[in-house]
Amino acid sequence: MDNTTTWKCNKCGEALVMKKVVFGYMNRSFSHEVPVCPKCSKVFISQALAEGRMVEVEEALEDK
C-alpha cells in the first residue's frame, strides 16, 4: 500500500476526506475515521481495512 496516494471517488473524482463514521459491531458501536467522498458522501472502506479494524476492536475489548 502506498500511503502517499490520495484516494479519489471513482464516481465524482473528488479527493476523499477522512471522516468519523460510527460502525455497529456485535451490539456495540465504534467510531472510526474512514475516507469519505465530500460530494456524494460515499464511504470507502477496503475489505482489508475493515477486517483489520475489526480485529483491533476485538483485541481492545478483550484487554478490558
CB-based contacts of 43: which residues, under 8 Å, 6+ apart? 19, 21, 34, 35, 36
DSSP 41: -
Which of 32, 45, 35 shows the shortest CA–CA distance to 14?
35
- Residue 13 CB, shortest distance to Zn ion, in Å, is 8
**Size of residue set near Zn ion by CB under 5 A:** 6
Q: How far is the CB of 33 from Zn ion (least distance, A)?
A: 18
The residues in 1-60 that bind Zn ion, with binding defined as CB under 5 A, are: 9, 11-12, 37, 39-40
List residues near Zn ion by CB under 5 A: 9, 11-12, 37, 39-40
